[in-house]
Structure 1
C-alpha cells in the first residue's frame, strides 16, 4: 500500500519498518550459520580492547626485531658469518618470530577465555540455550581466534618485510604457515582448557613448562642441530619448529627436502584436526549436549 498522493505530487512508498524474523526462521539460520554468528560475538568482544591488540600486534614485532634481529644480529653477523647458511641473522630468526607470535597469541586466547566461558562469566551457556550446537560454539570460537591470528601475522609480516627479512618472493606464504602453527599448538590446548573445572594454576604451568621450553629449544634463535641430542626431541615435537622450518624455506630459500616439508605440514594439520575434534567432544560433555 502507498501513502495518499499529495496534490500535484507522486505516490510515496511508506518507510520500511524493521521486523524480527519468525522464531522458526531465526532457528533455521542459527543452525546453518551458527558458527559464524558465534565468531562475530567473539570478535565484537575483542573490539572492546582493539587498541590493546593493535599495540601488541605492532609493538611486539618491532621490539623483538630491534632487540634480536638488529641488535644481536650485528654481533652474530660479524662473528659467525656463514654459520646460518649464508643469510643474515635477522632473516634467520624472522620466520621463527612470526610462528612464535601466533603460538603465544593462541596460548593466551585458548586458556583463560575458555575458563571464562565455562566458569566465571559462563558465556557459553547462553548460546548453548539457543539453537546453536556445541560444535558451532567451538568452531565459532576457533574462527574468531583464527581471524585474530591472521591479522596479527599480516601486521608482523609487513614489519618483517620492511626490515628486509623476507627477501624471497614466496615469503608471503609464511602467513598461513604461521597461522597453522598457532592452531596446531592452540587447538589441543583448547581441548585441555575446556576440560579444567577448577583453576589451580594449570595455565601458569603450561606457560612456564610448555610454551617457554618450546620457544627456547625449537630452533628459534639458533639451528636445532646445534643443540645436544638429548634436547633436540623438544624441537621435533614442537609446532614451532615445524612452522619455523617451513617459514625459513619460504622466506629465504632454506633447503628443506620435499618429503620433510610434507612431514612438517602433515604434523601441523594432524595436531590441529585432532585438537579440534577433541575440543568438540569436551565442550559437548561440559555443556551437557
Structure 2
C-alpha cells in the first residue's frame, strides 16, 4: 500500500510565501523582461538604427546648414542630441507604460494571478517600473555611445545625460501609468496618448530649437513638459549650457516630483483595481 504524503503544514506554506513577498517586485520585473524576448530583435535593431539615422540626418544634413548659417560656435548636433536621447527614453516609456498595463489587467490578466500569489499590488507596480527602466537605460546608453561616435558629446561629464534621459522617461511614464492602469475598455486611449501627449511634447519642448523661439502663447507647453526639463538638464551636462543654477535644480526637482506623484497614484490605482 502506497503511503499518502502528508499535506504541507501551515508553517511550510508561510515559509513558501516568504520569498515572493520579499522579492516580488523583482519577480514581476523578470516576468515582464522575459516577455520582451518575443520582439527582442526589433528592440535591438531599433535601439541602434534610430539614433544612427537621427544623428546622421541632423548632423550631416540639417546640422551642416544650421552651422553654416550660424557662423561657427556650438555645433547644432551637440545642441539637439540631448533632446534626442531624452526623446528616445520618453518613446520607450510611452510604450512600456501603456499597452503592457492594459494587457496585464484585461487581455492577459496576469496582474490578478500575481496578486493571488503572495505578491502585492505595490510590488506589481514596482516590478513594471523596474522592467521599464531595464529598457530605458540601455536605450539611452546606446544613444549616448552613438552620440560620442558622431562627436555630439563634447563635455567630459556628458555621460550623465544617460541618467537624466532615463529620469525623463520615468517621469513621463509614471504620469501615464495611473491613467492606463485605470482603463477597463480599449477605446483608442493609448493612441490618443501618443497623438495628443507625447507627439506635441516632442514638437514643443525646445527639441530642435530653443524654447524662446516659440510664440509666448506656446512656451507654456515647454515649461510643463518633462521632456523640456530633461532636455535642458542634458544640455547642461552635454556641452555646459549656461543657465542659472536654481533653474537646473528646478529641472531636476520637477522630474523627481512627477516620478514620486505618479508612482504613488499608480500604486493606489493598482491596489484599488486588484482588490475589488
Q: TM-score, normalised by structure 1?
A: 0.90
Q: Give the alignment of 1:114-263 within 5 angstroms.
A: 114-263=101-250
Greater helix fraction, Structure 1 or Structure 2: 2
User: Would you say the 8 A contact 1:111–1:189 is kept in 2?
Assistant: yes
> What secondary structure is seen at the aligned counterpart in 2 of 1:63?
helix
RMSD: 1.1
Measured against aligned partners, the alpha-carbon deviations of 1:22-70 in whole angstroms (never above 9, x if no partner) come to 5333310111111011111111111232111101111111111112232
CA distance in 2, matches of 1:179, 1:280: 21
**Structure 1 partner of 2:35:** 45
Aligned-partner Cα distance in 2 for 1:26–1:187:
32
Correspondence for 2:14 among 24, 31, 51: 24
Distance between the aligned counterparts of 2:153 and 2:232, measured in 1?
14
Which is worse superposed, 174-183 or 73-82? 73-82
1:81 aligns with 2:71: yes
Equivalent-residue separation in structure 2 for 1:81 and 1:158 (angstroms): 28
Asked whether the 8 Å contact 1:188–1:272 carries over to 2, the reply is yes
The SS at the match of 2:184 is: coil
Query: Could you give the per-residue CA deviations for residues 213-258 of structure 1, whole angstroms, max 9, x where no partner exists?
Result: 1101100000001111001001000011000001001010101211
1: CA distance, partners of 2:87 / 2:98: 17
Paired residue secondary structure (2:242): coil
Higher mean alpha-carbon deviation, 41-50 vs 209-218, is at: 41-50
Runs of at least 5 residues in structure 1 that lack an aligned partner in the other structure: 1-21
Displacement of 1:188: 1.1
1:60 maps to which residue? 50
The aligned length equals 265
Runs of 4+ in 1 over 3 A off after TM superposition: none
The alignment status of 1:273 with 2:263, answered yes or no, reads no
